[in-house]
Amino acid sequence: MLLKDLAGEYIFNCQCRKLSKRTVHNYELILGYLLDYLSQEHGITELEQVKPQMIKQFMMSMQKKGRKPQYINDLLKVFKCFFRYLFDEGYTDTIITERVKNIKEPKVIIKTFTDEEVKDILCFQAVIFMTATL
């Protein structure tokens, strides 16, 4: 079956589930990225032709374009929901994205205050409090 038609059906299903207009619009854009990639790079327009390797190649192409891991993982979430929907509706026997793993995201290290900085903050607040009550 044509991927374009299935994507349209999925978007309709999202609208029926009362997802916000912004969410539905984002889903349309993100699925459009995948469908364009599959048709341009692999010549694929049918669901039966899609392989997990192609989804991974799409993710690699996004990395080469300089997209951040968080963004690529967000795209992958939409793809996983889409292919899960197709499986649940009986369009496919397997979940194509089941074996596609998220990209490792770098850990964010938060710089904390030193003991001296905390002491200065507490002393500053104490001075303001003491002068305000006089």
Contact 78, 27 (CB under 8 A): yes
pLDDT in the model for residue 22 = 97
Q: What is the pTM of this model?
A: 0.79
Radius of gyration of the chain (CA): 24
DSSP single-letter state for residue 94: S
pLDDT in the model for residue 66 = 96
- Low-confidence residues of the chain, pLDDT below 50? none
pLDDT in the model for residue 5 = 95
Sequence-distant (≥ 6) Cβ neighbours of residue 29 within 8 angstroms: none
* Domains located in the chain, CATH noted: 3-104 (1.10.150.130)
pLDDT in the model for residue 134 = 52
